[in-house]
Structure 1
Amino acid sequence: MDFEIRKDRDEGPGRKGLHRERAAYFDLVKQGYSSMEACRIVGINPRTGKRWRNGRQPTGNTKGAPPVRPAGRPDVCSRYLGQQERLYIADRRRDQAGIRTIARELGRSPSTISREIRRNGMPLRGDVRKWAYRPYSAQDRALARRPRPKPRKITTNLQLRQVTQAHLDRKLSPEQIAGQLRRDFPDQPGMHVVHETIYQALYIQGRGELRREIANTLRTGRVMRRPRRQARRRQPRYTHKMVMISERPAEVADRAIPGHWEGDLIIGKDGASAIGTLVERATRFVKLIHLPDGRSAELFRDALTGAVADLPAHLWRSLTWDQGTEMACHHAFTVATGIPVYFCDPASPWQRGSNENTNGLLRQYFPKGTDLSPHTPEHLDTVAAELNGRPRKTLGWDTPAERFAKLLAQTS
C-alpha cells in the first residue's frame, strides 16, 4: 500500500487529527499486516496503533478510551457463512431438503451446514425436541461469537487456575502440566488445556502482579515472548531465484545414477574460518574445499568452481545445498560449470542426509570451536582420503574410494 506520510503534522500549534492515518492503519491490518508494520507505514507510534485497537484503561488523571473500530460492520470472509447463505439454508430446510443437498447447492461441506444448524439454531417455543433455524438470529449469533479476544479458560475456571499454579510451583513445564491435567481429569473437558494456553496465560498475567514470579516459573526466565521475525525484515536471500529441492529430478532420490552431490560448510571458531564439504550421493565419496581467505559468496564461488574442474562432466550432474549466504553466487556457478544447484527447505538438514553425516565424521578431525584456517590443502586431502578409505555398510563394505574408482575407470 502506498501511503504518503504528511509532512505538516508537527508544524503549527495544536494537535493534528489522525483520521486519514487511522483509516489507513485499519485498512492495512485488515489486509494482514502486523500492527507494528502498519504503524510504520502510516507514520505513527506503535502505542497509538495499539490504543486504537485495544482501547486504553483509565490511570490516574488520564481517562480511559474504548477501542476504535472502522466505520461500518466488518466484512465476513468468504470462508465463513454469510447472511445470504443462511437465508438459503432456512428456505431449503423449510422445503425439507437434506443437509447434503443444501451443501452441494451452496458449494459447502455437509459438516459445515450441519454444524451451522446445530450451533446457531434454537428450540422452537422452548421445546428442545423441536429445533428451529432462524437465519437472522443465526447471523447475529455468529457475529457475536467472532470477536476476539475471548475469556480464557484459565481465567474463568478457578479450579483449573489453582491446579495449574500448583504444578508451576513444582517447576513443571506447560507441556507437562497439559498432559498431567488430561491424566488426572479424564472426564472433565473443562480441565483440559493445551500448553499454548498456559504460556499465553503466563505472559499476559506477567504484565501485572505476577511479573516477578514468572522468572522462577518458566525455565527460560523470559517475561515476554521473543518475536521470531518481523515482516519488514523478510528480504529475499539471493539476487537470483533459488531452485528448490522439490524441483530436483526424481533420479537423484534413489541414488542409482552417480554424479549428484550434496554440499555444506563446517564452521570454525567464532565463524571466522570454514571448510567446504562435498559428498557424492551414490558412492559417499568426499571432497574438501580449502577456503584460506574466507567464505564470501565470490570467494566460495571460485573455490567451488575449481573443485569441480578435475572430474568428468558426467560425475557432476547436480549439487544440493542449504540456504547459506556462501551460495549467493549460485547462478554464476551454474553458468560457469553447467551444474544446476538445488536448495533445501529452511531448517531441513535431513534433505542432505549424506552430507550431514559426513560433517559429523569430519568433526573428529576438525572439532567444533577450533580455528580451521591452519589446515592446509594437503592436510584436507589427507583427511578426505582417510574418510574415502573407510568401508561402509551401506556400500556392502566397499569403500567410497573403490566405488568412485570404478566410475572413473568406466569413463576412461
Structure 2
Amino acid sequence: MASEAAACEVGVHPRTGQRWAQESGGRVPAGLLGPAGSSLTFDERIQIADLKLARWSVRAIARELGRDPSTISRELRRNDSSRGYGPHWAHRQAELRRSRPKSGKIGSCPRLRQAIEDGLEQEWSPEQIACRLRRDFPDDPELHVSHETTYQALYVQGRGELRRELTKALRTGRTRRKPHRQPYERRQRFVEPMVMLSDRPAEVEDRAVPGHWEGDLIIGTPNTSAIGTLVERSTRFTMLVHLPQRHDAIAVRDGVVAAITTLPEQLRGSLTWDQGSEMGLHHEIKVQADLPVYFCDPGSPWQRGTNENTNGLLRQYFPKGTDLSSHPRDHLADVAARLNGRPRKSLGWDTPAEALTRLLSSPQTNGVATTP
C-alpha cells in the first residue's frame, strides 16, 4: 500500500505514516509525491555514506539513487563534518529539522512582519515588497524574504503570521489561493488523444504551402454566444463560422466541417486550434472534413499568431461585451468579405481574396492540379 493509504488504515496522520515508512527503510511509490519524491530515507543515507567512501562523485551518487544531484549535494553540505558523513547522525538531524510546530520567518521577526504589513497596506505586491526590502536593507538578512513566503503566511491555514484581511490588499482580492497544476499533473484534455503542434509538418511553419488553417472562437456576452474564425496561414483568407445557439463540441464540429468542405481538396492541409473544450470532437472533424487537427501548447496563443491577429481585427465589427448571437449568417459573410478585401502589407498589399484567387487560378497548387 502507499504510505498515505497505510496511514489511514492504522488511524494516523499521513505525514506520520510517511515518516514511519522512511524510518523503517520503506520507499514511497514513485509518482505519489511528485517528481522530486520524498525526503531521503535512512537506507539512502547509508548508501550515500558508502558511495562517498568509495570516492563516487555527487552526480554519480545521484544517478545511483535516482535523485537530483542538488539533493545529494545539499545533504552532504548540511551533514558532512571533519569526521566525514555519518548516516545515523544525518538522519537524526533531518528528523529534528522536520519537527513541528515550527514558527516561520515572518512570525518570528516583528520587524519583517511590520514591513510586509506596511507594504501590503500600500497595495504593493509581495514580490515588490521582497525586492524592495532586499534593495533597501542589503546587509540585513533578517529582512530578506521571498514573495512565496509572504503568500504562504497569508493563505496557509494555521500559520497566522499575517492578518487574513490583508489579502484584500492584493490585486486579486482572493481570500483563498487559486491552485495551479504543475505540467506533470495535467490531465488528458480530451478522450481522443491530441496531436500536438510539435508533430505538425515543417512545411506549415514557413507558409510556403497553402491550405493550412488556424481556428478559434471569439466569445460574446453573456459567454453563451460565439463566432468561429478560420484563417488560412498563407493567404490570410478568413472564413467565419455561424454559431447562433451554442458553441459546444457538436456545434463547432458541424460548423467547421460545413465551412471546410466548401474548399477544394488541396486547401485542406491542416487545422491548428487551442485546447478549448469546443474541440472535444476533433477526431470527427479530421474524418468528416479530411483535415488533420493539431493543438497548441497550453497558454501559448502565439502559436496561432495569424488567427489571434485576425480576431483582433474582427473586434471592430464584433465588439467585446456584445451578444454575438444577434448577427445573422449573411452579416458574417459580409464581414468576412470586408476583411478579405483589405490590402495586407504581409501580402505585398494584395488582398487575401486576390491572393486566394491567384492561388486557385494557378495550374498547380502544392503539386496538385486545380480547377479555377
TM-score w.r.t. length of structure 1: 0.72
In structure 2, which of residues 3, 20, 25 is the aligned counterpart of residue 72 of structure 1?
Answer: 20
Residue matched to 2:4:
26
Residue matched to 2:316:
364
In structure 1, which of residues 210, 220, 224 is the aligned counterpart of residue 176 of structure 2?
Answer: 224
Over 3 Å counting, the alpha-carbon distance change for 1:71 and 1:160 in structure 2 is closer
Q: Distance in 1 between matches of 2:101 and 2:215?
A: 47
Residue matched to 1:382:
334
Asked if structure 2 preserves the Cα contact closer than 8 Å seen for 1:89 and 1:102, the reply is no
Q: Distance in 2 between matches of 1:249 and 1:400?
A: 23
Over 3 Å counting, the alpha-carbon distance change for 1:175 and 1:100 in structure 2 is closer
CA RMSD, 1 decimal = 3.6
Asked if structure 2 preserves the Cα contact closer than 8 Å seen for 1:300 and 1:327, the reply is yes
Over 3 Å counting, the alpha-carbon distance change for 1:209 and 1:178 in structure 2 is closer
The answer to whether structure 1 residue 258 and structure 2 residue 210 are counterparts is yes
Larger-gyration structure (1/2): 1
Q: Which has the higher contact order (CA 8 A, sep 6+)?
A: 2
Paired positions, count:
347
Worse overlay, 241-250 or 114-123: 114-123
Shift of 1:118: 2.7
AA aligned to 2:357 is A
Asked if structure 2 preserves the Cα contact closer than 8 Å seen for 1:275 and 1:288, the reply is yes
Residue matched to 2:78:
119
Over 3 Å counting, the alpha-carbon distance change for 1:152 and 1:259 in structure 2 is same
Q: Distance in 2 between matches of 1:149 and 1:276?
A: 55
Q: Percent identity?
A: 55
Q: Distance in 2 between matches of 1:152 and 1:213?
A: 19
Deviation by residue 1:344-398 (Cα, 9 ceiling, x = unmatched): 2233222211111101100101111222233233222221121112222222322
Q: Distance in 1 between matches of 2:175 and 2:303?
A: 36
Q: Distance in 2 between matches of 1:189 and 1:246?
A: 45
Asked if structure 2 preserves the Cα contact closer than 8 Å seen for 1:243 and 1:343, the reply is yes
Q: Distance in 2 between matches of 1:270 and 1:133?
A: 65
Structure 1 unmatched runs, 5+: 1-22, 30-37, 43-48, 55-66, 125-131
Asked if structure 2 preserves the Cα contact closer than 8 Å seen for 1:260 and 1:282, the reply is yes
Deviation by residue 1:287-344 (Cα, 9 ceiling, x = unmatched): 1122234333333322222211222111111011122333222222211121111122
Deviation by residue 1:255-299 (Cα, 9 ceiling, x = unmatched): 221111001112222123222110001111111122234333333
Over 3 Å counting, the alpha-carbon distance change for 1:115 and 1:25 in structure 2 is closer
TM-score w.r.t. length of structure 2: 0.79
Over 3 Å counting, the alpha-carbon distance change for 1:207 and 1:185 in structure 2 is closer
Asked if structure 1 preserves the Cα contact closer than 8 Å seen for 2:113 and 2:162, the reply is no
SS of match in other structure, 1:319: strand
Residue matched to 2:135:
183
The answer to whether structure 1 residue 247 and structure 2 residue 209 are counterparts is no
Residue matched to 1:352:
304
Q: Distance in 2 between matches of 1:348 and 1:221?
A: 26
Asked if structure 1 preserves the Cα contact closer than 8 Å seen for 2:249 and 2:278, the reply is yes
The answer to whether structure 1 residue 324 and structure 2 residue 283 are counterparts is no
Q: Where in structure 2 are the equivalents of 1:44-83 lying within 5 Å?
A: 53=13, 69=17, 72-74=20-22, 75=26, 81-83=40-42
Q: Distance in 2 between matches of 1:368 and 1:110?
A: 51
Q: Distance in 2 between matches of 1:101 and 1:215?
A: 43
Shift of 1:407: 1.2
Q: Distance in 2 between matches of 1:220 and 1:101?
A: 42
Q: Where in structure 2 are the equivalents of 1:164-313 lying within 5 Å?
A: 164-204=116-156, 211=163, 213-214=165-166, 217-227=169-179, 237-313=189-265
AA aligned to 1:378 is D
Shift of 1:112: 5.5
Q: Distance in 2 between matches of 1:366 and 1:257?
A: 31
Over 3 Å counting, the alpha-carbon distance change for 1:276 and 1:27 in structure 2 is same
Asked if structure 2 preserves the Cα contact closer than 8 Å seen for 1:206 and 1:214, the reply is no
AA aligned to 1:379 is H
